[in-house]
Structure 1
């Protein structure tokens, strides 16, 4: 049996990365001859969440309930996850590669003495079970064998597209109340401050993103980039140096400390492509780089590239788009 930790949003919905993890689990299940998939959630879910997970092929939803789970604690969640795993006899324990997913699974790995692979993007072979995972912020890939059971790993965000199953699961709800030791509650969330409004939603879901980096030269150097963004009905994404210099707001930042995007087309202009930025855009289906350095990492990794000054190339692109549209 495959056991997937599913994170739930404040409004009670399964977060996208967790739905991606369940989708990944279905591929693994099919390779193993139809091994059932169970989910673990923290707190008692509503009917809508259970039905959603059923549409993704989940057989049972195990809900961890009790005062020990009222606030987030990586160790407590791991204890509950292990209790469900030991009762159900799962051979795989998974989660989304979020900060919480990776922390909880790291606790599981430490308690079982088994290796945990973070940020897997695919698997190959079942004996031994082998995953390919992102390392160095997504700049490199590593193959890792998980020969012992349970196999413990997280799934990198956007490694697969979250899609409902062809055949839904039964979605049976099982209330679990496993004991949690006091030592597992030493590190826990004790208070939460309301975050700033998340303005990055459009960027994360955009099908086309136009990016700009240090090559823009200044805050005023974004005029042509913004016009191209408007002409393409795209979202704007920027590198970390742009936000550090105060040229653009942080919610537009793409990268390891910004948003991770997976558009159909990404057009980075004047962005060298440091590892941290690449970690945020490597899931783009196609990349058209505009840069005056033919050896820039972004250029060498791009699907296509135009070598030259972005302040000459982008106005020419804008003019051609307007001409073709008769504007």
Structure 2
């Protein structure tokens, strides 16, 4: 059996990266002869969550409830996940490669005495079970054998496209309250500050993202970039240096330590394309780079490029968009 930890949004829906993990789990299940897939969620499921997970082929949804699960605690979530795994005899434990998914499964692997593979892109043979994963911020790929059981790994964001199953699973709900040791609650979330609202949309799911880097020049240099973002109905994504300088909030950062995006079009403006940033945007279907340096890594990797100062190029693009819409 395969167990997948599913993260749930504040709206009570499975987040996209967890749906991607379920999609890969279904592919793994088919390769293994159709072994069942169970999902684990934390807290009482919102209305509609269980049938939504069933549409991804989930046989059973285990809801971990009780005071120990009211706030995130990586070790506590791992204890609950191991409780489900041990009772079910699952041979694979999976999660999305988010900060929480990686933390929880690291605990699971350590307590099970097995290795963990983070940010898996695909799997190969089943005997021995082999996975390919991203390393060095996505600059290299590593093939790794997970010969021990359970096999524990997380799925890199956008490694697969989330898709419902041809035939839904049973979607049986099982509410459980596993015991959690006090030591598992030592490190836990005690408060949460809401981020500044992302007025240009949800970055990770955006179809078009306009990026901005050091080339913006200053916090005041984003006017034309924000206008382009608005004209395209896009989301704004920035490089790490922009957030480090305090020009834009961290939740807009794209990269290894920010969001991993997979838009139809990414327009990085004044971004050199350091390996950490490339790790977050390499899944874009098309990239149109705007940069003064024709040899910048982002320019050489882009689908198309405009060589020029973004403060000259973008206003011209904005004017042309407005002109065409007015006509």
TM over 0.5: yes
What does 1:249-288 align with in structure 2 at a 5 Å threshold?
Answer: 249-288=249-288
The secondary structure found in structure 2 opposite 1:205 is coil
Structure 1 equivalent of residue 194 of structure 2:
195
Structure 2 equivalent of residue 128 of structure 1:
128
Contact 2:196–2:249 under 8 Å retained in 1: no
The secondary structure found in structure 2 opposite 1:162 is coil
Change (3 A) 1:46 1:237: closer
Change (3 A) 1:28 1:198: farther
Q: Alignment RMSD, CA only?
A: 2.5
What does 1:161-310 align with in structure 2 at a 5 Å threshold?
Answer: 161-189=161-189, 191-199=190-198, 201-310=201-310
In the aligned structure 2, how far is the partner of 1:221 from the partner of 1:23? 41
Q: Is 1:66 matched with 2:66?
A: yes
Question: Alpha-carbon deviations, 1:218-253, whole Å to 9, x = none?
Answer: 445444434443443333322233344444454443
Change (3 A) 1:52 1:309: same
1:180 deviates by 3.0
Contact 2:121–2:159 under 8 Å retained in 1: yes
1:42 deviates by 2.1
Change (3 A) 1:186 1:224: closer
Q: Is 1:43 matched with 2:43?
A: yes
What does 1:9-28 align with in structure 2 at a 5 Å threshold?
Answer: 9-28=9-28
Number of aligned positions between the proteins = 326
In the aligned structure 1, how far is the partner of 2:310 from the partner of 2:89? 57
* Structure 1 unmatched runs, 5+: none
The secondary structure found in structure 2 opposite 1:106 is helix
Contact 2:219–2:247 under 8 Å retained in 1: yes
Contact 1:198–1:251 under 8 Å retained in 2: no
Deviates more, 1:291-300 or 1:84-93: 291-300
In the aligned structure 1, how far is the partner of 2:230 from the partner of 2:192? 35
The secondary structure found in structure 2 opposite 1:44 is coil
In the aligned structure 1, how far is the partner of 2:283 from the partner of 2:143? 19
1:60 deviates by 0.7
Change (3 A) 1:204 1:73: closer
In the aligned structure 2, how far is the partner of 1:195 from the partner of 1:16? 20
In the aligned structure 1, how far is the partner of 2:320 from the partner of 2:62? 56
1:304 deviates by 2.5
